[in-house]
Amino acid sequence: MSIPNRPSLADLARMPIGEIVALSGETLALLQEEAEENLRRAKAAKDWLDGALERKYGTLAAEHRRVEGKDTGTVRFDDGAVTVVADLSKKVEWDQTQLAAIVERIRTGGGEPGEYVETSFKVSERKYGAWPVHIRTAFEAARTVKTGKPTFVLKPTSP
Q: How confident is the model at residue 150 (pLDDT cuts 50, 70, 90)?
A: confident
Mean pLDDT to the nearest integer, 62-77: 95
Q: How confident is the model at residue 58 (pLDDT cuts 50, 70, 90)?
A: very high
CA dihedral 63, 68, 71, 75 (to 10 degrees): -70
- Please answer whether residues 29 and 56 qualify as being in contact, where contact means their C-beta atoms are separated by less than 8 angstroms: no
Mean pLDDT to the nearest integer, 7-17: 93
Round to whole Å and give the CA distance between 70 and 54. 18
Mean pLDDT to the nearest integer, 118-141: 93
Among 140, 57, 36, 84, smallest CA distance to 28 is for: 36
Per-residue confidence (pLDDT) for residue 153, from 0 to 100:
82
Q: Is the pLDDT of residue 76 over 90?
A: yes
Residue 58, C-beta contacts closer than 8 angstroms, at least 6 positions apart: 86
Q: Is the pLDDT of residue 92 over 80?
A: yes
* Half-sphere exposure for 118 (CA within 13 Å, toward CB): 2
Phi/psi for 147 (5° steps) reads -105, 155
Q: How confident is the model at residue 159 (pLDDT cuts 50, 70, 90)?
A: low
Q: Is the pLDDT of residue 116 over 60?
A: yes
C-alpha Rg value of the chain to the nearest Å: 27
Phi/psi for 118 (5° steps) reads -100, 135
